[in-house]
């Protein structure tokens, strides 16, 4: 039995008083490995085991998932137990077959998530975006929140780590100084997924089964919509589903999408480098910086 299997077995016995029958590895990378766990009772769970140095992130994700299950009708995994670097979740079938109907349903479900609103931007505490702390101090001003807690925050981290140079940092800071000319606050702050790309949407039998791996806070819904376009994850069907509930304001696809995607691109530049830096430079050049 591997160390991860021992941790899972111990956690399930502690939290659920159940006996483990089978454990199989599903996915890895980032800050955790994910396993499919069969119990003697016949139930199936998913277990997320934090990698060394990242065990504490299981608690952060458990808090986000619990909040989502309690405050929105959008489907997310339910927390069955958490502790000692293990997060236990109900297992959600995922065959990856989305189809047009599944994509449209995903758009509807994102709209359902965005229907949960707040009078302020941010969150009750810091959350995580991947393995990175995501600061969420409450703010009444969206533009300053996105500037300070997203763009400038991640710019500093990436530059201090040597992933972007000081010249690019200066260009980003110059753009952020004029951000109010490009963005406007939404009427209400919506609950955002925060890491909304195709890999964090589970599809099964051409239906949208659930969203996973959130990075939640209250902000502009366009931030999620922009992320949805970043890796070519979704077709027009997804946006058609979203548009059944909400309109997308003029100028989003032409300009604001790129601005909102500077945040995840900075994150990816910090963790992975490579062409993500070039993507940031391309956006800034397009904006005149």
The C-alpha atoms of residue 98 and residue 107 are separated, in whole angstroms, by 12
Banded pLDDT at 35 (limits 50, 70, 90) = very high
The C-alpha atoms of residue 42 and residue 23 are separated, in whole angstroms, by 13
Tokens found for residue 207:
């239906």
The C-alpha atoms of residue 237 and residue 246 are separated, in whole angstroms, by 14
Q: Is 195 a catalytic residue?
A: yes
Q: pTM higher than 0.85 for the full model?
A: yes
The C-alpha atoms of residue 92 and residue 207 are separated, in whole angstroms, by 12
Tokens found for residue 236:
């027009």
Tokens found for residue 121:
């931007």
Domain at 3-90, CATH from 3.30.70.1230, 3.30.200.20, 3.90.190.20, 3.30.1360.180: 3.30.200.20
pLDDT digits (tens, 9 = 90+) for 174-200: 999 999 999 999 999 999 999 999 999
Indicate whether 1 pLDDT > 90.
no
Report the pLDDT value the prediction gives residue 24, as an integer from 0 to 100: 98
The C-alpha atoms of residue 141 and residue 155 are separated, in whole angstroms, by 20
Q: Which of 141, 160, 195, 220 is catalytic?
A: 195
pLDDT digits (tens, 9 = 90+) for 138-180: 999 999 999 999 999 999 999 999 999 999 999 999 999 999 9
Q: Do domains 3-90 and 99-287 have the same CATH topology?
A: no
Banded pLDDT at 30 (limits 50, 70, 90) = confident
Which residue in 275, 277, 274 sits closest to 262, CA to CA? 277
Average pLDDT over residues 25-38: 94
| Domain covering 99-287 in this structure, CATH number | 3.90.1200.10
Banded pLDDT at 29 (limits 50, 70, 90) = confident
Domain ranges for the chain, please list them. 3-90, 99-287
């Amino acid at each position: 039995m591997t160390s991860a299997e021992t941790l899972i077995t111990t956690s399930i016995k502690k939290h659920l008083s159940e006996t483990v029958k089978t454990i199989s590895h599903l996915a890895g990378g980032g800050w955790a490995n994910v396993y499919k766990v069969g119990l003697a009772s016949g139930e199936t769970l998913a277990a997320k085991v934090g990698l060394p140095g990242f065990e504490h992130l299981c608690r952060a994700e458990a808090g986000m998932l619990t909040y989502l299950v309690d405050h929105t009708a959008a489907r997310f995994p339910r927390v069955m137990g958490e502790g000692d670097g293990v997060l236990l979740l109900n297992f959600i079938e995922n065959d990856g077959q989305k189809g047009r109907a599944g994509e449209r349903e995903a758009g509807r479900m994102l709209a359902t998530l965005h229907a949960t609103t707040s009078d302020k931007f941010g969150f009750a505490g810091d959350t995580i975006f991947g393995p990175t702390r995501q600061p969420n101090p409450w703010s009444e001003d969206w533009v300053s929140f996105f500037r300070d807690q997203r763009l400038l925050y991640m710019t500093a981290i990436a530059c201090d780590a040597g992933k972007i140079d000081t010249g690019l940092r200066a260009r980003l800071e110059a753009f952020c100084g004029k951000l109010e000319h490009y963005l406007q606050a939404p009427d209400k702050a919506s609950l955002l997924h925060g890491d909304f790309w195709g890999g964090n949407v589970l599809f099964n039998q051409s239906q949208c089964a659930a969203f996973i791996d959130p990075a939640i806070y209250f902000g502009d819904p366009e931030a999620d919509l922009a992320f949805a376009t970043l890796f070519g994850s979704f077709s027009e069907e997804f946006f058609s589903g979203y548009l059944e509930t909400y309109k997308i304001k003029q100028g989003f696809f032409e300009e604001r999408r790129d601005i909102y995607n500077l945040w995840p691109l900075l994150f990816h530049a910090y963790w992975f480098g490579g062409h993500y830096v070039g993507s940031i430079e391309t956006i800034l050049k397009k904006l005149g910086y």
